[in-house]
């Protein structure tokens, strides 16, 4: 009965995350377009941060509850879901063209993030000082992106939704409320399942919770691809990974230092890095369709290893 209640709580949290993420993304992206920010920058910053709100909520609540391992597993697992599953699924239908500014700005930082995380975890703990250093790196990237946004502002497309500004603000507020509620339900359900079945909290965060909190990224990527906005789709995924690794994880560590075995952290970091490497665009900026199949196979392999390690 307890396990069933935990399942229900987790499912309810995932549903709230999907609804909240969708409303929040619509509202924030609408506000950004109203402010005449180009689609690529919107994807890498505003949309990416909005879709990562469930991960932020989960990580903060988990850290406050004294189990930051769930938040860490969620953030790193979400990064793998974003690239290997979400982007892989999108690429299966058609190749993608990456904007030059994204190749120059977002890919290097996304690749550097798991490397830095791995180095700081060599001693088995991510301290508050480590968290502050990572957060400063994120701020530096954000400042550089903001400077580029100002340069691109004059070249932005038509302003959308000016007459619906109140609805955008309402959408943001309601979406944020759903996301905060989702974080509470997901952490409670995940912790209950970890206790009921003797599953490691990091593993729960890296699989079940990670897939659930990635629902907004899935929705945003699919919608962007259908509408032909590859720059928004790719920017959202890369920006979300940077936000997860250099903002969400450090915030959790600052609240409560994260202690986890190198064996667990290494698996998630290596798969995250390999997934990103598989998506690096060609010199012409294209990401071919066959890479989508490769990424989905990689994700299936990752889940298989996680389950096998847990059973041993």
Task: State how far Cα 55 lies from the chain centre.
Answer: 7
Q: What is the pLDDT of residue 159?
A: 39
Residues, the chain: 312
Arithmetic mean of pLDDT over the chain: 79
The helix or strand, by DSSP H or E, that contains position 125, with its residue range, turns out to be strand 125-126
Selection from 132-141, 178-187, 200-209, 256-265 with the highest mean pLDDT: 132-141
Using left for φ > 0, alpha for ψ between -120 and 50, and beta otherwise, residue 144 falls in alpha
Q: What is the pLDDT of residue 281?
A: 84
State how far the Cα of 279 lies from the Cα of 84, in Å rounded to an integer.
Answer: 9
CB 249 within 8 Å of CB 56: no
Q: Facing residues of 286 across strands?
A: 97
Q: What is the pLDDT of residue 40?
A: 62
Q: What is the pLDDT of residue 75?
A: 85
Task: State how far Cα 66 lies from the chain centre.
Answer: 22
- Give the up-direction half-sphere exposure of residue 87: CA atoms within 13 A in the CB hemisphere: 36
Tens of pLDDT, residues 38-63: 656 666 677 777 777 777 887 888 88
Question: Into which CATH architecture does domain 2-152+164-311 fall?
Answer: Up-down Bundle (1.20)
Tens of pLDDT, residues 114-158: 999 999 998 889 999 999 999 999 999 888 887 776 665 554 444
State how far the Cα of 6 lies from the Cα of 108, in Å rounded to an integer.
Answer: 39
Q: What is the pLDDT of residue 35?
A: 65
Higher per-residue confidence, 290 vs 231: 290
Q: Facing residues of 260 across strands?
A: none
Q: What is the pLDDT of residue 36?
A: 67
Q: What is the pLDDT of residue 160?
A: 39
CB atoms within 10 A of CB 140: 12
Structure tokens at 162: 């000016």
Q: Is the pLDDT of residue 165 over 70?
A: yes
Q: What is the pLDDT of residue 196?
A: 72
């Amino acid at each position: 009965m307890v396990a069933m209640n935990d399942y229900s709580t987790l499912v309810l949290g995932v549903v709230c995350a999907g609804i909240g993420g969708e409303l929040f993304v619509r509202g924030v992206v609408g506000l950004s377009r109203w402010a005449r920010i180009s689609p690529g920058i919107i994807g890498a910053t505003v949309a990416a941060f909005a879709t990562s709100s469930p991960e932020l909520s989960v990580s903060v609540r988990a850290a406050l509850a004294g189990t930051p391992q769930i938040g860490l597993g969620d953030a790193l697992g979400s990064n793998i879901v974003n690239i290997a599953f979400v982007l892989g699924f999108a690429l299966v239908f058609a190749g993608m063209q990456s904007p030059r500014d994204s190749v120059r700005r977002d890919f290097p930082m996304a690749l550097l993030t798991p490397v830095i995380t791995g180095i700081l975890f060599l001693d088995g703990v991510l301290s508050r000082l480590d968290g502050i250093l990572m957060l400063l790196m994120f701020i530096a990237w954000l400042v550089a992106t903001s400077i580029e946004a100002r340069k691109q502002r004059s070249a932005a497309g038509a302003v959308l939704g000016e007459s619906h500004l109140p609805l955008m603000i309402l959408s943001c507020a309601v979406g944020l409320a759903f996301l905060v509620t989702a974080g509470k339900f997901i952490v409670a359900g995940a912790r209950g399942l970890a206790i009921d079945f003797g599953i490691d909290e990091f593993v729960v965060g890296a699989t079940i919770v990670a897939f659930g909190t990635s629902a907004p990224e899935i929705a945003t990527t699919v919608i962007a691809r259908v509408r032909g906005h590859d720059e928004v789709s790719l920017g959202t995924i890369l920006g979300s990974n940077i936000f997860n690794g250099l903002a969400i994880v450090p915030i959790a560590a600052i609240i409560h230092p994260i202690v986890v075995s190198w064996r667990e952290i290494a698996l998630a970091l290596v798969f995250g890095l390999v997934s990103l490497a598989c998506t690096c665009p060609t010199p012409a900026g294209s990401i071919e369709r066959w890479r989508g199949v490769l990424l989905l196979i990689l994700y299936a392999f990752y889940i298989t290893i996680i389950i096998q390690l847990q059973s041993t």
